[in-house]
A and B are shown apart, each in its own frame.
Chain A
Amino acid sequence: MSTGPYNQARQAVRDALAHRKPSHVPIDFGSTAVTGIHVSVVAALREYYGLEIRPVKICEPYQMLGLIEDDLAKAINIDTKAVFTPKTIFGFPLENWKPWQMPDGLEVLVPGDFNTTVDSNGDFLIYPQGDTSVPASGRMPKGGYFFDAIVRQPPINEEQLNWEDNTEEFQPISNQDLLAMRVAVDQASTTGRALVLSLPNMYLGDIALVPAPFLKHPKGIRDIAEWYMSLRARPDYIHKIFERETAVALTNLEKIHAAIGNNVEAVFTCGTDFGTQTSSFCSVQTFRTLWLPYYKAMNDWIHQHTTWRVLKHSCGAVEKFIDSFIEAGFDILNPVQCSATGMDPKLLKAKYGDRITFWGGGVDTQKTLPFGTPQEVHDQVLHRCEIFSRQGGFVFTTIHNVQARTPLKNFVALLDAVREFNGATNGRPEPTL
């Protein structure tokens, strides 16, 4: 398995993360739920590269990301390998695959507990832990490409608010899940690629998870607007939740490390978005008082006991937050949304490039990738590689998941451009199909 360019894959990522110049710019697609590819594009890529035509597995049922199997990973030179959380966002494991049809007719494979019904609107509804006897927790609009969480917030009674209601999901990891993680890590290791492990329940208020699509009867504050208001209006309540989440995380980290050791290059712990297109969801000061101490406690534990590097995902305009992210112990920033205010690639690399790894920023996904020409994609990818790759500290991927309807020729232009960049710098061989 680890022949050809592959014996370099894991090392290239390790070098990049250590801010040493790697043999080539490593590429990630599919290692996390924020660096994935929509199932429709995965299917199209399989066909384009002449791989066996078979229904693609859904490895992330909320955004409907397609599993990138080893044959495709090889065809497109991917240097990373995912180890997903034991359960998906809808609370069921990735097992017992069964066929399912996307609204546009594409045949895919979904986990056995991916149970859906169709409502009067023609929308698909999906259920927490696959249990169709409780209210649905996700909806895919008719003709849509992915699910969105359904808010099941009972009316709030201010006097009876109890922060513990918001902590039902933060539980000690089960031995069964630990074993599953260990098996997954062992299997993934055989690919010779760098492993990225997604860790559950260490995110502190990720807005996608606040509605708790995985819980059958979520209690507490589960509405998006109410949550955001609470950050300002009920900071004590939020602190209590974060304290509990952190305490549970610290004991889980110990168990997980005991189970898998240092066999992964990076861990993805937190997808809480702090940026918007032109601004942020809170001030840097609020981040420093409300979030930083908790993130730091978790990241400090990781750095003291493991060799893992920690990946922080935050969309949007977060340039002002990067110093605080670094102080909180994050080693990697994703998706590096260069199209947002203040996120200029040159400035980011110059100001923070030796202290944090940029895992993303490879191409703009708001304009260039979906709407540009292949030439424009090619040129931008080369340009970004030139800026970000100096002295390591860069793993190439698009800015967030590759969306449905991304023109295939643009995505191929992107892959060719990275290959060209890598070929030009170190003569990395063409992949053998």
Chain B
Amino acid sequence: MADLNQLYDAILNGDHKTAVTVTRQALTEGTAPIELITNYMSPAMDEVGRRFECEEYFVPELLLSGRAMKAALALLQPLLAASGAEPAGRIVIGTVKGDLHDIGKNLVASMLEGGGFEVHDLGADVAPEKFVGAVREHKPDLVCLSALLTVTMPGMRDVVEALKMAGLRDQVRVMVGGAPVTAEFANEIGADGYAENAGVAVTVARRLTRKNHAMDEAKG
């Protein structure tokens, strides 16, 4: 029998090889993918986020855990797709136009994946039209924007406006973040959410994508 606590530990310790071995074994033994995610992988990533917030973990550890989680998840994805299981939500994420800082965005993306979201990462220096195109293609619940430069922060407003112009704004929520971004700024540009770090981003994303909530509920 696969010791599933090893999966939790492997993700927490950023050991992608063990994460893959244990997941593979668990699958051959017939463990349901969803059980692996909910009981082991997501809790491990939650713990990673907690350690990051209290400065026990730093960027390297987060990247390693994210990689371990993704490697295990890659084995589960075909099975999940085949079974028609729905992710916690669909997300499109990217760093806005003109900005090439992507370390923070990558951490947020992998924490969201760890939190059970389906994440489409558009990379860095992403123009508003590309976000619009990706929203049409992937029909996400949430669009996540990252900016690290004050010169590129206005690009977040451009994305919100482009979504409006394309008639898509009321079909998605928008969450923003990155070093210079504040909750105040998020409000000002008409975004629906803000998070100051990757751990909190998952909590806010869960709140913003809660399925039963009508999209026209009060913003916040």
Contact pattern, B 11-46, Cβ under 8 Å of A = 1, otherwise 0: 000100000000000000000000000000000000
**Chain B residues positioned under 8 Å from A370 (CB to CB):** 150-151
With known contacts A280-B58, A282-B58, A367–B98 Cβ distance under 8 A:
no
Q: Is the CB of A229 within 8 A of B67?
A: yes
**Chain B residues positioned under 8 Å from A281 (CB to CB):** 58-60
Contact pattern, A 344-359, Cβ under 8 Å of B = 1, otherwise 0: 0000000000000000
A391 and B101 alpha carbons, distance in the complex (Å)? 38
A286 and B98 alpha carbons, distance in the complex (Å)? 33
A280 and B52 alpha carbons, distance in the complex (Å)? 10
**Chain B residues positioned under 8 Å from A233 (CB to CB):** 14, 60, 64
A229 and B68 alpha carbons, distance in the complex (Å)? 12
Which residue of B55, B67, B100, B106 is within 8 Å of A148 (Cβ)?
A: B100
Instruction: Report A88-106 residues with CB < 8 Å from chain B CB.
Output: none
Which residue of B60, B97, B180 is within 8 Å of A366 (Cβ)?
A: B180
Say yes or no for B88: interface residue by CB 8 A criterion: no
Q: Is the CB of B98 within 8 A of A282?
A: no
Say yes or no for A232: interface residue by CB 8 A criterion: yes
Q: Is the CB of A228 within 8 A of B150?
A: no
**Chain B residues positioned under 8 Å from A405 (CB to CB):** 151
A140 and B125 alpha carbons, distance in the complex (Å)? 10
Contact pattern, A 114-152, Cβ under 8 Å of B = 1, otherwise 0: 000000000000000000000000000101110010000
Q: Is the CB of A229 within 8 A of B60?
A: yes
Which residue of chain A has its CB nearest to the CB of B182? A367
A162 and B151 alpha carbons, distance in the complex (Å)? 40
A370 and B150 alpha carbons, distance in the complex (Å)? 8
Q: Is the CB of B14 within 8 A of A232?
A: yes
Say yes or no for A167: interface residue by CB 8 A criterion: no
With known contacts A233-B14, A367-B150, A403-B149, A225–B63 Cβ distance under 8 A:
yes
A366 and B197 alpha carbons, distance in the complex (Å)? 18
With known contacts A224-B103, A232-B60, A280-B58, A141–B98 Cβ distance under 8 A:
yes
Instruction: Report A53-93 residues with CB < 8 Å from chain B CB.
Output: none
Q: Is the CB of A404 within 8 A of B151?
A: yes
Instruction: Add 13 more A-B contacts to A232-B14, A232-B64, A282-B59 (CB < 8 A).
Output: A141-B100, A145-B98, A225-B63, A225-B106, A231-B60, A233-B60, A233-B64, A276-B59, A276-B179, A282-B60, A283-B58, A365-B150, A366-B180
6 contacts between A and B (CB under 8 A): A148-B100, A278-B196, A278-B197, A279-B58, A280-B55, A371-B150
Binding site for A on B (CB under 8 A): 14, 55, 58-61, 63-64, 67, 97-98, 100, 103-104, 106, 125, 149-151, 179-180, 196-197
Binding site for B on A (CB under 8 A): 141, 143-145, 148, 224-225, 228-233, 276-283, 286, 365-367, 370-371, 403-405
